[in-house]
Structure 1
Amino acid sequence: MGSFDPSQETNPLPKPSATGTDEPAEAPARVGTIVWGLVVLALAVLIVISQLGIVVLNGTYVLIGLMIGAGAALVIGGLLSARKRDNRTTNGKS
């Protein structure tokens, strides 16, 4: 039987560097998550307002307005995200 040699041990995890710069960058918040969170928040606020009797709301108009606003925000956010992503250098692959 051979002796154990720790230098030949395979380790799937990279060794941490002394400077600590190998930490993964934080992923930015996704546009869709932010937009749909705002839609849910707006619906909750509108429900509370209508239950208090401050304003009488037509549900159809509220939903149409929220969907138009959410759709516009998703399209604009996607375009801005794509524009930011296109500024990176390419490696020649498609």
Structure 2
Amino acid sequence: MSSYDPATDAPETPADPSVPGSQRARVGTVVWGLIVLALAALIIISRLGIVTLNGTYVLIGLMIGAGAALVIGGLLSARGRDKETTTGKS
């Protein structure tokens, strides 16, 4: 008689994004990650001498892009939350 249960050794399945309570990437995290990647790419391009960049214009462009991405991402996130069914509890 063995106490081995193969079901307990099975790997966990990843969280289903359609299930309430599952973890999804936050919009702010994605936007800040893209900002860091864009800055790194611009620094590499400027150091290679491919193009010369004005730091002020680069920062203004990144801030406009990041602000737009945060607003659009927030609106899309809110629209996705509105589709979920409510339980009627407040």
TM range (shorter): 0.7 to 0.9
Give the TM-score, by structure 1 length.
0.70
Larger Rg: 1
Identity in percent: 78
Match of 1:41 in 2: 37
* Alignment partner, residue 77 of structure 1: 73
TM-score when normalising by structure 2: 0.73
Gaps of 5+ in 2: 1-13, 17-21
Greater relative contact order structure (CA < 8 Å, 6+ sep): 1
> Which structure has the highest helix share of the two?
2
Other-structure match for 1:67:
63
Aligned positions, number: 73
Instruction: Calculate the aligned-residue CA RMSD, in Å.
Output: 1.8
Query: Which amino acid is the alignment partner of residue 34 of structure 1?
Result: V
Instruction: Please identify runs of 4+ aligned residues in structure 1 that moved more than 3 A.
Output: 23-26
- 1:40-67 deviation per Cα after TM superposition (whole angstroms, max 9, x unaligned): 0000000011111110000000000000
- Any unmatched runs of 5+ in structure 1? 1-22
